[in-house]
Amino acid sequence: MDRTDDTPVYVIGAGPAGLATAAALRARGVRAVVLERSGAVGSSWRGHYDRLHLHTPRALSGLPGLAIPRRFGRWVSRDNMVRYLEKYAAYHDLDIVTGVEVTRIEKAEKAEKAENAEAAGDGWLLHATGGRRLAARTVVVATGYSHTPRIPDWPGLDGYTGKLLHAREYREPSPYRDLDVLVVGVGNTGAEIAVDLARGGAARVRLAVRTPPHILRRSTLGWPSQRTGILVRRLPVPLVDRAAALLTRVAVPDLAPYGLPRPETGLYTRVRQGASPVQDMGLIAAVRSGAVRPVAAVTAFDGESVVLADGGSVAPDVVIAATGYRRGLEGMLGHLEVLDPGGRPLARGGRSPKGAPGLHFTGYTNPISGMLREIALDADRIAREVARARRRSG
């Protein structure tokens, strides 16, 4: 394989997005060095709860250049996903440096500021742990969609005397056996944790719902919902909303009598707003049986009680906040004007934000067609653009 240029592209993050991009760059003769703050690849995956499986089928979830092994089954488990990422890094012989956290990226000014001074110029200067200063013409930021746990600033939270944890800290249900647990948030994580707790022997499981979600069957008659998402992704939003409403009324029972009404906003409209549908991993049955009881959204905390939007209150033994994550990019990149007000990159894949040539982002969207599939597509787009830019520069 001929190298187009021995100056490395720095890829920040050794999750699926970072590994896929590094492999795609290597396949085009571009040297890539992956910087990972933890001690191993796939650190976010290692921290997820035990029962987690991909919501997308194995055949549509592999990264470029290496399929997920068939023996991992159709719906890949968390542990097998970690094994796959480890194998992927080894198979592609990726250059990964662990234990290095990039804290700030700025436009390069003077070559003598960087360890690899020959790379400095019009590119980027990376500040990393250990006093490292690394310069590169191209940087790919792939620190992950689920980077920094987010807990809302609820009134009274500082004085709450009960036990509160973020879903990131949840692993399995045995510590909560015979306890009263309130799960806050009905995204995929909150729904799965609530079901896991109910099956694992919690005395009571309540699920606080701010906005009722769209619920989909992960697969219907062998046809995965992801394939439908791929087919409809480019269609007009109102058309997809109407089609989804008809299909879900046939496939998903009405849970309004149990406190979980159908959402008023269309499915694809919600997706475009950043809210993914909930894949049914037992939630429908658990709600209908009473094993998981939906309640109103949390509005405040008061001593040992949790105040709900309908005026009621509960006093659970444990509150698990499945309230999502922030991308956590502001400290590293906030000064460069490459993020939107929500902290998300203004561009992704092969495109760089305006005024930031050579700076790429991947892994910060969760589309209806599947995050891992989109990561694979973005990896190729970035590699093509980087290789093209290097050919132009000679």
| Rounded to 5°, angle at Cα 136 from 378 and 326 | 50
Residue with tokens 């989109």: 374
| Rounded to 5°, angle at Cα 272 from 239 and 235 | 30
Question: Which residues in 324-341 are b (16+ Cβ under 10 Å) and which e?
Answer: bbebebeebbeebebbee
pLDDT of residue 233: 87
What global pTM score does this model have? 0.90
User: Cα(367)–Cα(275) distance, rounded to whole angstroms?
Assistant: 10
pLDDT of residue 93: 97
Which tokens sit at 326? 């922030």
Longest alpha-carbon distance in the chain = 68
Residue with tokens 């409209």: 269
In three-state secondary structure terms, 94 is coil
User: Cα(13)–Cα(31) distance, rounded to whole angstroms?
Assistant: 16
Which tokens sit at 108? 């390069």
pLDDT of residue 219: 87
Give the CA dihedral 361, 365, 370, 375, nearest 10 degrees.
10
In one letter, which amino acid is 15? G
User: Cα(175)–Cα(168) distance, rounded to whole angstroms?
Assistant: 15
What domains does the chain contain, in order, with CATH numbers? 5-147+327-393 (3.50.50.60), 150-321 (3.50.50.60)
Distances (CA, A) of 5 to 2, 8, 25, 106, 133: 9, 8, 11, 22, 20
**Burial status of residue 143 (CB atoms within 10 A of its CB: 0-12, 13-18, 19 or more):** buried
Q: Encode the chain (394 residues) as per-residue pLDDT tens digits.
A: 444 456 899 999 999 999 999 999 999 999 999 999 999 999 999 989 999 999 999 999 999 999 999 999 999 999 999 999 999 999 999 999 999 999 999 998 644 455 554 444 469 999 999 899 999 999 999 998 878 899 999 999 999 999 999 999 999 999 999 999 999 999 999 999 999 999 999 999 999 999 999 999 988 888 899 999 999 988 999 999 999 999 899 989 999 999 999 999 999 999 988 888 999 999 999 999 999 999 999 999 999 999 999 999 999 999 999 999 888 899 999 999 999 998 999 999 999 999 999 999 999 988 888 999 999 999 999 999 999 998 887 6
- N-to-C CA span, the chain: 18
Residue with tokens 């662990």: 98
- Cα dihedral 231, 235, 240, 243 sign: negative
